[in-house]
Amino acid sequence: MLKKLSAALLASAFALAACAADRQDAAAAAPAHAPAGSAVDPAAEQVVRAALKKLAPGVQIDQIAAAPLPGFYQVIASGQLVYVSADGKYMINGDVVDLAARENLSERAWAGFRKAELAKVPAAQRIVFAPPHPKYTVTVFSDVNCGYCRMFHSHIKQFNDEGIAVEYLAWPREGVTDTAGEPTDTYKEMVSVWCAADRKAAFTAAKQGKAPKSADCPNPVKDEFDLGVKLGVTGTPMVLGPDGMVLGGYVTPDKLLKLLEKGG
């Protein structure tokens, strides 16, 4: 069940991306295309924050930064990016595109935010498949049971042969808990994978339909799921490049290599 921030927020098309079976504190710098030297005016920030809190009391505001639109601030909140006027009267939900540069500035801002947040995830909390000397590293939010996630992982050797390291983060599509508040089957399975003595082997086996031996331990699965929601993940797999840009869902090794070469 997709959770909306509020009826008012739904009407304005600004929805909280939370746990759903059918869908995929400020840490990033201001977007690269914000005016040089621009900064967030503290008074305006409070106005913007108050306007959003009034519209949706439960909203989690992660970033308020200078926007490329005059008179507006860029806000990343509850897995969404919107633009709010400095006087708190107007909100724009949609991409801002630089027509001259032919660049999506909203996606570029998202990328910077994702890159900064992903840098906080310790290597020990990821499941990593990497060649000895990788040319590129991608982060993949993945579920162990989704069909496209399994197809993606079936090419893991080819990814590595192309010089691509794949770092997996957990994102159970069923969410962490069901409507009764009980842990979902997928969540429990992913916890068992992350708690296995050989996580890589357990992960690969789960991708092949072989459920791991039930296990429990201190693990990052819930935190990684929550991080995915915060970063706008709406389905799995979600492949992110080194710069935080979304490279797609299921992509083949040759296509992913071309995307990385183009971006690099």
pLDDT score at 39: 76
Q: Which fold has domain 123-263?
A: Glutaredoxin (3.40.30)
pLDDT score at 31: 35
> Comparing 7-118 with 123-263, is the CATH topology the same?
no
3-state DSSP of 99-141 = CCCCEEHHHHHHHHHHHHHHCCCCHHHCEEECCCCCCEEEEEE
Pairwise CA distance, residues 211 & 203, whole Å: 9
The one-digit pLDDT tens for each residue of the chain (264 residues) are 233 333 334 333 333 333 333 333 323 333 334 443 357 889 999 999 999 999 988 889 999 999 999 999 999 998 999 999 999 999 999 999 999 999 999 999 999 999 999 999 999 999 999 999 999 999 999 999 999 999 999 999 999 999 999 999 999 999 999 999 999 999 999 999 999 999 999 999 999 999 999 999 999 999 999 999 999 998 999 999 999 999 999 999 999 999 999 875
N- to C-terminal Cα distance for the chain? 38
DSSP class per residue in 210-264? -PPPP---S-SHHHHHHHHHHTT--SS-EEE-TTS-EEESS--HHHHHHHHHHH-
Strands 164-170 and 136-142: parallel
Q: Which fold has domain 7-118?
A: Nuclear Transport Factor 2; Chain: A, (3.10.450)
Q: Tens digit of pLDDT for each residue in 241-254?
A: 999 999 999 999 99
Strands 136-142 and 238-240: antiparallel
Q: What are phi and psi of 167, to 5 degrees?
A: -110, 115
Pairwise CA distance, residues 47 & 263, whole Å: 37
Of 104, 131, 81, nearest in space to 33 by CA: 104
pLDDT score at 207: 95
Characterise 173 by phi-psi region: left (phi > 0), alpha (psi -120 to 50), beta (else): alpha
One-letter amino acid of 242 = P
The domain spans of the chain are 7-118, 123-263
3 to 19, 82, 143, 240: CA distances (angstroms):
7, 18, 20, 25
CA atoms within 13 A on the CB side of 262: 8
Contact 61, 75 (CB under 8 A): yes
- The residue behind tokens 């439960």 is 58
pLDDT score at 181: 93
Which residues, listed in sequence order, are joined to residue 139 by a DSSP beta bridge?
Answer: 167, 240
pLDDT score at 263: 78
Q: Tens digit of pLDDT for each residue in 70-89?
A: 999 999 998 999 999 999 99
Contact 231, 113 (CB under 8 A): yes
